[in-house]
């Protein structure tokens, strides 16, 4: 039984462990091949506001195994979204290195998908058109594009709503559409920046289960930022706890339980209390600003 935080040292040379689930899933979408290992070496990032240099991330070293579900928690402003943007390749101004399957990340690519807190669907496009747009740069035939769009609409359980516009979807449905749009390219890594943060509690719990189902069906690496420790405990193989000013990794907690998980498990509850204590020990924003 685990009653203490299973903290592990940061080890950038940790071997890649491939996902063992490569069989086709129930939805017909094949599980990801053994790929999607991410390693981050000495990553630092500074923003400039007028003539001030503001260090946001400092010396991040991290190794994420292919097929793992990793959650990131930490105080507001500690650089979680910045870290995801750097992994996505949306921002190239940093020092250090970010590698996906050993290849340096230099720009956005179809091997990384990202989902934000808001769905960012185009309001003038129907659901199926929003998702198809993500396939613009592929030279698949029209039939193949249609097949992929339908497969992913089915995966997120939106079949029947293909022709709906975003305003005709509920918040949870729109977020599921955003997940389908990010997955339709079959990225090796899915980056999720508080994807359920704006939803009501019930929808949130429902979509946590949906995210878990999608991950179990297709595997692939998932990196999710969340403020909800219970969400992280339900989904994460590992939970990265970040500290702030500058943003850095405080601890990594391994969650040694199989999926799907029992939220009431005493093991999870023990880890939960320790993570909350870790987070509470980080001084609140006003104390940190000089």
Question: Which residues sit at the interface with ligand ATP, rule CB under 6 A?
Answer: 47, 49, 56, 76-82
Burial of 244 (0-12, 13-18, 19+ CB in 10 A): buried
- Considering beta carbons, is residue 259 or 288 the nearer one to ligand ATP? 288
Which span (13-21, 73-81, 102-110, 130-138) binds Mg ion, by CB under 5 A? 73-81
Q: Which is nearer to ligand ATP, 73 or 153 (CB)?
A: 73
Beta bridge partners, 247, equal 57
In the complex, the smallest distance separating the C-beta of residue 226 from Mg ion, rounded to whole angstroms, is 10
Q: How far is the C-alpha of 181 from the C-alpha of 114, rounded, in Å?
A: 9
Give CA–CA dist 224/194, Å, rounded. Answer: 7
Q: If contact means CB under 5 to 8 A according to the sort of partner, which of ligand ATP, Mg ion, none does residue 56 touch?
A: ligand ATP
Residues numbered 130 to 149 that lie near Mg ion (CB under 5 A) are none
Specify whether the CB–CB gap between 41 and 61 falls below 8 A.
yes
Which residues are within 8 A (CB) of 34 and not within 5 positions of it... i.e. 6 or more apart? 18, 19, 22, 66, 67
Q: Which lies closer to ligand ATP via its Cβ, residue 197 or residue 270?
A: 197
CB of 197 to Mg ion, least distance (A): 9
CB of 35 to Mg ion, least distance (A): 27
Interaction of residue 117 with Mg ion, rule CB under 5 A: no
Q: How far is the CB of 30 from ligand ATP (least distance, A)?
A: 33
Q: How near is the Cβ of 111 to Mg ion at its closest, in Å?
A: 23
Half-sphere exposure of 116 (CA within 13 A, CB side): 8
Binder of residue 37, out of Mg ion, ligand ATP, none (CB less than 5 to 8 A by kind): none
Q: How many residues does the chain have?
A: 290
81 touches Mg ion by CB under 5 A: yes
C-alpha of 52 from chain center? 31
| Closer residue to Mg ion, CB minimum distance, 81 or 150 | 81
In the complex, least distance from residue 53 CB atom to ligand ATP, rounded to whole angstroms:
10
Torsion of CA 21, 22, 28, 29, to 10 degrees: 100
Residue nearest to Mg ion (CB): 81
- Measured CA to CA, the distance from residue 106 to residue 97 in angstroms comes to 9
Q: Which two tokens stand for residue 286?
A: 């006003």
Q: Which of ligand ATP, Mg ion, none lies near 135, with the C-beta cut-off 5 to 8 A by kind?
A: none
Q: Considering CB under 5 A, how many residues would be counted as binding Mg ion? A: 1
* 76, interface contact from Mg ion, ligand ATP, none, CB < 5-8 Å by kind: ligand ATP
How many CB atoms neighbour CB 103 within 10 A?
A: 10
How far apart, in whole angstroms, are the C-alpha atoms of residue 108 and residue 88? 6
Are 128 and 77 in contact by the 8 Å Cβ rule? The answer is no
- Least CB distance from residue 49 to ligand ATP, whole Å? 5
Binding site for Mg ion (CB under 5 A): 81
């Amino acid at each position: 039984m685990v009653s203490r935080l299973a903290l592990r040292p940061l080890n950038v040379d940790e071997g890649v462990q491939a996902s063992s689930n490569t069989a086709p899933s129930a939805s017909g979408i094949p599980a990801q091949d053994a790929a999607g290992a991410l390693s981050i070496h000495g990553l630092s990032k500074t923003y400039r506001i007028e003539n001030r240099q503001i260090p946001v991330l400092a010396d991040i070293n991290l190794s994420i195994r292919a097929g793992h579900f990793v959650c990131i928690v930490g105080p507001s402003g500690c650089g979680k979204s910045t870290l995801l943007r750097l992994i996505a390749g949306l921002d190239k101004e940093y020092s250090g290195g970010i590698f996906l399957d050993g290849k340096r990340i230099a720009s956005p690519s179809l091997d990384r998908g990202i989902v934000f807190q808001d769905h960012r669907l185009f309001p003038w496009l129907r659901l199926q058109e929003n998702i198809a747009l993500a396939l613009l740069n592929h030279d698949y035939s029209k039939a193949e594009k249609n097949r992929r769009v339908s497969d992913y609409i089915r995966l997120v359980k939106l079949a029947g709503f293909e022709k709906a516009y975003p305003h005709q979807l509920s918040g949870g449905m729109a977020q599921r559409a955003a997940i389908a749009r990010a997955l339709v390219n079959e990225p090796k890594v899915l980056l999720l920046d508080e994807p359920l943060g704006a939803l009501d509690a019930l929808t949130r719990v429902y979509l946590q289960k949906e995210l878990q189902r999608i991950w179990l069906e297709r595997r692939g690496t998932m990196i999710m930022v969340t403020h909800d420790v219970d969400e992280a405990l339900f989904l994460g193989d590992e939970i990265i706890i970040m500290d702030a000013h500058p943003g850095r990794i405080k601890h990594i907690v391994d969650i040694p339980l199989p999926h799907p998980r029992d939220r009431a498990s005493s093991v999870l509850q023990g880890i939960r209390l320790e993570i909350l204590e870790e987070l509470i020990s980080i001084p609140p924003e006003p104390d940190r600003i000089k």
